[in-house]
A and B are shown apart, each in its own frame.
Chain A
């Protein structure tokens, strides 16, 4: 229960950042720079007087978009390919699986970096790159789960009764594989957060003024000795988000 509460609080915080922040996250106020934690700036201000909490909230929404898009891309693509391979069988199964294994061979970050260099880094481009790179593992898992279900007696019974392929997949196969697939997507969400933060930290093709958490860690590294909280806040936010996602979905899986 505590885990779900934590996840709910996190979700509210992340989504809220898309619609409201205490201050404009890009607004500069040189006179208020490095204010430290005050009542008006709960997490202080940075070297340009921008409100750190507002920037973290805005970055949270961008991260949320990445989590959702990565999950959706991997989930939809992987489930479709993995299930299709298991159901189709023969050489088509082999072809699909070899293609998925090829996806796994190429490191995710390399794919994402290449995409960022070509298309620029935005939540959408990063999510598509990370999501497509995640299709392979999702598909292999979906295939394994589907094969296991397809070997069950009730599937053989359905086939004997002449149930169509579509009906078998929608009524018997997917209901048995999707819960585990969903848990897997949740587990991967934490990795997506870290991957997006890494891409933003590297900054290839990114808009450096956008308040991504990884970009903030990079931008504020200059102040690691003089104003360490500037780095600690976005770093801590990444850590809490990843931990909460992993914790919650581990529980779900269990």
Chain B
């Protein structure tokens, strides 16, 4: 009898141990998220890390754009203008960094100073900003150029808020904190204990996939709970899988083609205009099975978007090329002084839709006698900055802060750090200068439309498709709602089913 009791007790103890261990394992089971991009590092002042770290749920801004596209406060309570170039920002009380220290004006000022010293993209809207802490929660900001809406400036992706801790490291305030990072591979995230409702969030293992198809297979095999940015070709198949949910959502991104205006063949505006007219945007949209023909630089739901789809007119394109001195040679390719009109079009694999669009672009330009060589490069920013291209297909969120000025200033103003087209137009710059003095939203819309009209005429870029993106989720994340393009992939309200 004692041995039976002993056996029973042992069995009960073992069962309890297994139950406790299983419960602990389940509680700590991370959410597995896949995407075709990952932050290139944890230094928030470098390159586009500010955007990526916010997208990963690690960082926040003073202001941000919410689900409805409205500009709302995040770490800041309010911003008040005190002069032409001066503003006072009041921070929210009781916010903490992930190391438990309070968010103060002094620590944020140190972070912003570091960003403005190391990231030229931060200078796009207001020029160099100076910061002064006037109290724990009061930050005085002086801009180099007049800024009509400082809230919008602080919602721009380079201006992530952080506390610098030396050697390019930083502490952030977002719902997750970095627990491990492998360059170009994965990032492990833990709930930030000092962010509200941290106990309701699971840790996250965010993996980068070099190839969207591989990511799709990982989702199908149960290795992922969330696959962000699925190729449109697989959506039909995934919808038939009862274990998965596929969701689509319109994004603020635009797929566009930058034309390198410094290359000999594209220095002629007539050639660039002909390229713009040769693109069949309906065909491009159909090729990627998602999205609408672009009406201009901005997705159609923005008030400052163009209202009419960009035209396709092969006859007019041919006439422009003829006027530029290009005539058809024996091979059917346009020639001038015995030199063929052959262009190099590049794109990058991190946006699979662009890779799909590349041969379509080639075929469309072939219709007007332009030969195109194509290339897919991993390091698109470097290649584009070096100018080793004629056409680069690019995906860009053109109004990340809900305002049109940032994209136009940072990517198309003369001499801007991200001006890959090397477009330089005093007339266009003069239009952009009007943004600095105009705070009325309706008038800013008019300025944005004027700027787009100038772009259509000068054609340093061709706006192609306003895309729709797809995410796939497992049952565990079936309540996940994608919004905000890829600026807020991981959020506090990730929608995990418990």
Contacts and interface: CB of A to CB of B under 8 A. Distances in A.
State the majority secondary structure of interface residues on A: loop
Contacts of A98: none
A223 B213 CA distance: 9
A209 B372 CA distance: 10
A27 interface: yes
Contacts of B233: 47, 222-223, 226
A205 B388 CA distance: 14
Given A207-B375, A208-B376, A30 B234 contact: no
Interface in B273-315: 283, 286-287
B359 A48 contact: yes
A180 to B, nearest CB: 41
B212 to A, nearest CB: 8
Given A30-B283, A30-B286, A208-B376, A225 B237 contact: yes
B363 interface: yes
A111 interface: no
A48 B285 CA distance: 11
A203 B358 CA distance: 15
Contacts of A50: 359
Contacts of A24: 366
A207 B374 contact: yes
A222 B237 contact: no
Contact of A26 (B231, B355, B362, B376): B362
A26 to B, nearest CB: 5
A84 interface: no
Contacts of A3: none
Interface in B355-383: 355-356, 358-360, 362-364, 366, 372-376
Contacts of A209: 358-359, 362, 372, 374
Q: What band does the interface of chain B fall in when counting residues whose beta carbon is under 8 Å from A?
A: 20 to 34
A221 interface: yes
Interface in A119-133: 120
Contact of B360 (A28, A223, A225): A28
A219 B406 CA distance: 36
Contacts of A207: 373-375
Interface in A198-250: 203, 205, 207-209, 221-223, 225-226
Given A28-B283, A222-B231, A222-B233, A208 B363 contact: no
Contacts of B231: 222
Given A47-B233, A208-B374, 20 more contacts: A26-B362, A28-B283, A28-B287, A28-B359, A30-B283, A30-B287, A47-B287, A48-B359, A205-B375, A207-B375, A208-B355, A208-B358, A208-B359, A208-B375, A209-B374, A222-B231, A222-B234, A225-B237, A226-B234, A226-B236
Interface of B: 213, 231, 233-234, 236-237, 283, 286-287, 355-356, 358-360, 362-364, 366, 372-376
20 contacts: A26-B362, A27-B366, A28-B287, A28-B359, A30-B283, A30-B287, A47-B233, A47-B287, A48-B359, A48-B363, A207-B373, A208-B358, A208-B359, A209-B359, A209-B374, A222-B213, A222-B233, A222-B234, A226-B233, A226-B234
